[in-house]
Amino acid sequence: MKTTLLTDLTVRDICDGFVYNEFEGKGLFGWGGKLVIQPEYQRNYIYADGKKDVAVINSLLMKYPLGLIYFVKTKDGVYEVLDGQQRITSFGRYVTNKFAIMDNNDIPNYFTSLPSNLQEIILNSKLTIYICEGEESEIKEWYKTINIAGVPLNNQELLNSIYSGPFVNLAREEFSNSRNANVQKWRAYINGDVNRQSFLETALQWVSKGDVEKYMSRHRYENNIDELKYYFYSVIDWISTVFIDVDKSMRGLEWGRLYDTYHGNSYSPNEVSKQVNDLLSDPFVTNNKGIFEYILAGSNDTTLLNIRVFNEASKQKIYNEQTKIAKEKNISNCPLCAVGNNNNKARIWKYAEMEADHVTSWSKGGATTDDNCEMLCKTHNRVKGNK
Ligand SMILES: [Zn+2]
């Protein structure tokens, strides 16, 4: 790979012919048409928050360096921005009057309303640009490892760059587009930010059963995303059919795995709804996120719900009471050891050798209160717990 350092290109040079697509949220071209600002593997413009974009302009006005920018020179002589897209798009948008900065009197200043000496400071700012030429594979490998100034790329953004091509383009149009009307619905079940590729990442995880990289590599040059799209829609439809209410604890569950495991079973949405609401309002259920799989799996596996346990004070109190009575009667302080005919019939267990048990289990309506607590030796507690 060959690299060349340029230090005399200015903001003015790069802004020559700057085009920004407001609808797609990306800077497209600059440097008199020679520069592609958002090549297909780059992420969307995320600096347009009135802070990061303004900070770029203030840095230029203070004559601070903007940091290294990387361009790739392609075989047809065009340059693509490898790193620096956010900064270039910020000053390009400012110079073309797309946003304002506040002056000391809190007056918004668009570029054309700035005093001309300040306009000149911005336009004459010199940039530090590395131009790289080489094979696509080596440039992408290097891109994967460079330490990027500003907001580092997340894992999915890196994969999008490594497996760039028609498949990623189509997939981003569907899953990374905040104007997609479905995004609101998806948000009920999926965590993260559509612009930072969270929804695309989730869709890929679901269809690939977690092997996103292999899936992207295999489909990289395909011109359709049918499988990805239909699988994703099947999962979403299934969730919203089985669970007719939406609760915030549904966000970010492993819905792909739950769909694969349970979508062959039939459920009554109304009964499920009642069960969900009962469990959500049950004070002894401490893991609301486990409620959905608990129901899907047949309402047996209470470990998913993480039922409230007895606190130390309660356990100590019950232990002392049981032990006192046991010593008086010369029997074991484990009630189950005491009734059997075994070596431990009269054994007094230490506190650390015992565990707290619900006399009436949670699933039969037993509460996590002192009057429903008994201390058992570990062996008996585990035997009972497995019943
Ligand atoms: Zn026992």
Above pLDDT 70, what percent of the chain? Answer: 93
CA of 134 to the centre of ligand 1 (A): 72
Q: Confidence band (pLDDT; 50, 70, 90) for 120? A: very high
Same domain (yes/no): 137, 213: no
Same domain (yes/no): 57, 102: yes
User: So what's the pLDDT on residue 163?
Assistant: 81
- Sort 312 into a burial class: Cβ within 10 Å, 0-12 / 13-18 / 19+: exposed
Same domain (yes/no): 26, 137: yes
CA of 294 to the centre of ligand 1 (A): 30
CB contact at 8 A, 17 and 33: yes
Average pLDDT over residues 206-213: 93
CA of 326 to the centre of ligand 1 (A): 13
CA of 351 to the centre of ligand 1 (A): 13
Last residue of a domain, one of 205, 233, 265: 265
Mean pLDDT of the chain: 89
Secondary structure (3-state) at 52:
helix
274 lies in a domain? Answer: no
CA of 376 to the centre of ligand 1 (A): 6
CA of 228 to the centre of ligand 1 (A): 54
CA of 343 to the centre of ligand 1 (A): 10
What is the tens place of the pLDDT at every residue in 21-32? Answer: 776 666 688 999
User: So what's the pLDDT on residue 6?
Assistant: 87
CA of 374 to the centre of ligand 1 (A): 11
Same domain (yes/no): 122, 200: no
CA of 313 to the centre of ligand 1 (A): 21
Name the residues around ion ligand 1, CB cutoff 5 A.
Answer: 334, 336-337, 377, 380
User: So what's the pLDDT on residue 26?
Assistant: 65
CB contact at 8 A, 226 and 251: no
83 lies in a domain? Answer: yes
User: So what's the pLDDT on residue 337?
Assistant: 94
Asked whether the predicted pLDDT for residue 158 surpasses 80, the reply is no
CA of 304 to the centre of ligand 1 (A): 26
Same domain (yes/no): 147, 47: yes
Same domain (yes/no): 248, 146: no
Same domain (yes/no): 9, 85: yes
Same domain (yes/no): 13, 63: yes
User: So what's the pLDDT on residue 149?
Assistant: 45
Q: Confidence band (pLDDT; 50, 70, 90) for 54? A: very high
User: So what's the pLDDT on residue 313?
Assistant: 94
CA of 284 to the centre of ligand 1 (A): 26
Number of domains, the chain: 3
CA of 301 to the centre of ligand 1 (A): 24
Same domain (yes/no): 93, 139: yes
Same domain (yes/no): 177, 147: no
Average pLDDT over residues 259-284: 96
Poorest-confidence range of 179-183, 199-203, 227-231, 263-267? Answer: 179-183
256 lies in a domain? Answer: yes
CA of 375 to the centre of ligand 1 (A): 9
Same domain (yes/no): 102, 165: no
Same domain (yes/no): 26, 115: yes
Across 247-270, b (16+ Cβ under 10 Å) vs e yields eeebeebebbebbeebbeeeeeee
Distance CA 286, CA 284 (A): 6
Domain that holds residue 340: 312-386
